[in-house]
Chains A and B, each alone.
Chain A
Amino acid sequence: MSQNNGTLNLRVARIESVTPEIKRFTLVSPTGAHLPAFSGGSHVVVLIANQNNTLRNPYSLLSSPYDTSSYQIAVRRVESGRGGSVLLHENVSEGDLMEVTPPANLFPLIKQARLHMFIAGGVGITPIISQLEELRLSKVPFELHYAVRGEEHAQLGKELQATYGEQVHLYRKGIESRMDICRILTGRPLGSHVYACGPDSMIDATLTSARNLGWTDSHVHFERFLEQSSGGEAFSFTLGRSGTTIEVSPDQTMLEAVEAAGYTMPYLCRGGACGHCETEVLELDGELLHTDDWLSEEDKTSRKKIMPCVSRAKCNRLVIDL
């Protein structure tokens, strides 16, 4: 398998529709070699060539960490986004090559846990699938509570039920009752951990329920979707070290604008969660629009730091330390 700039060029071995909106891609090495190992909850970033730029979309791996002969990703088609998922749905065929970064994990299982509780909605099931695979060799009990919008969106959930049986609780809208996160988390033994991935409302309900029940932050884990439609107004900023002015278009992030201008900066999740792209603000005339989960409230009000992968600014002047 060839590598460019640390990325992997993989062959698309299979494409399946698993819901009306989600396609599952199976990726293998063109030479048949094993792929880099990963742990449950990992993701890769898929590089998608667009007309005059490259989109970088992170997708969770849903294959087994114990089988690195292939990777699987699930891509939900987002019409309102910047077009990356639509390009993958429409332009990629079996046999094509796909460029992805090696796996990274921002949503790992906690090895000391006595009980794993997974809460997922829709395509948020994807990182949890590989976590469950990892748990196959573990004796620690787990429960999965998975909500989907209806029967036609339930295929991944039904596959998991077939594999894991009663440990999987499926909530299909219009069929089963609504998921009651507070009830799910009530009365759990010491050493329980909850992992949530799904829409913001589901993650917020998990955080609120856990806090009300006395769970501390060290037992609560979540991964938000990349908000691909969360663009904003155009603005510009300056790279402090070179003095270059960078224009950010409404559908671009600061990180993407930096990359489009030919500069590189550290990143991992591109979703405001991992902290790798944290950058110091040197000058600011205006407001920072923070949308990340990384900076503390104090950091956000200090006007001294920004996460360029998701956050924006409404400003006359912004200089960052890059």
Chain B
Amino acid sequence: MLITGIKSRPVYDRLQPLPGGTRHIIAGQGSGGRAMLRLLDDMVGQDRPITLLYSQESFSGQDFLAGLQQHPSHQLKVYASNQALIDDLNDLLFDARMGTRLYLAGSESFLGSAMQVATRFDLNRDEVLREHSGTLVRRVWCVHCDTYTENVTQRVYDCPGCGVTLVVRDHYSRRLAAFQAVKADAEVPGELPEAEELDT
């Protein structure tokens, strides 16, 4: 579970069948495959079409593709990267009809990027569930040069875009799907905040 002391960080769900859906799209990445498989077990017996999207990109190297392939009655699309999955999700939702339910499982970066697509199509909280899995690493956005950095684990780091030493704030932007980082010694030049491991 994610640390919950950060007010702006979304509260994630546990995937479970949403009532009333006429079509289900289940998209996951890496260790999120475990939640996808559990959801499929909970959906046994319902006769609405299910589409599975799975990206094998993983921070921890976990792969649930073999398990997903054990469900041949559902369409399964496999991607090498999270971005490829998210691009395809955009196309899928463009053609989708009302009654669609979306389930997301994976890292916070994946969930945030997929939610940006879902929000573009006005999918609301009663149509989407998100389950977090894997590590607590953050995607961070530099307010100075607009660079996104994946998998940040330290409170203080150097921005690969502009080289400024940044402090990661506990401020998550759903619009940007990232935490915000600002110049670490802006108040008193040279005076850096204490380095620490994030979320521990």
Q: Which residues of A contact B (CB under 8 A)?
A: 110, 112-114, 185, 187-192, 211, 213-219
On whether the beta carbons of A112 and B20 are closer than 8 Å, the reply is no
On whether the beta carbons of B123 and A190 are closer than 8 Å, the reply is yes
Given A213-B99, A214-B99, A215-B98, A191:B123 Cβ within 8 A: yes
Selected contact of B97 from candidates A110, A189, A216, CB within 8 Å: A189
Chain A nearest Cβ from B115, distance in angstroms: 13
How far is A113 from B101 in the complex, measured between Cα atoms in Å? 17
On whether the beta carbons of B97 and A187 are closer than 8 Å, the reply is yes
On whether the beta carbons of A218 and B125 are closer than 8 Å, the reply is yes
Chain A nearest Cβ from B120, distance in angstroms: 9
On whether the beta carbons of B96 and A190 are closer than 8 Å, the reply is yes
B37 contacts chain A at the CB level, 8 A cutoff: no
Please tell me the size bucket of the interface on B: 10 to 19
Chain B nearest Cβ from A113, distance in angstroms: 6
How far is A151 from B190 in the complex, measured between Cα atoms in Å? 80
On whether the beta carbons of B122 and A191 are closer than 8 Å, the reply is yes
| 3 nearest A-B residue pairs (beta carbon) | A214-B99, A191-B122, A214-B22
Q: Across the two chains, which residue of chain B brings its CB closest to A185?
A: B98
On whether the beta carbons of A219 and B98 are closer than 8 Å, the reply is yes
Chain B nearest Cβ from A197, distance in angstroms: 20
Interface string of B121-133 (1 = CB under 8 A from A): 1111111000000
On whether the beta carbons of A113 and B21 are closer than 8 Å, the reply is no
List, in ascending order, chain A residues with CB within 8 A of B121's CB. Answer: 114, 190-191
Interface string of B14-41 (1 = CB under 8 A from A): 0000001111000000000000000000
Given A185-B98, A214-B100, A219:B20 Cβ within 8 A: no
Selected contact of A216 from candidates B20, B23, B93, B119, CB within 8 Å: B20
Chain B nearest Cβ from A224, distance in angstroms: 22
On whether the beta carbons of A211 and B125 are closer than 8 Å, the reply is no
How far is A112 from B124 in the complex, measured between Cα atoms in Å? 10
On whether the beta carbons of A189 and B98 are closer than 8 Å, the reply is yes
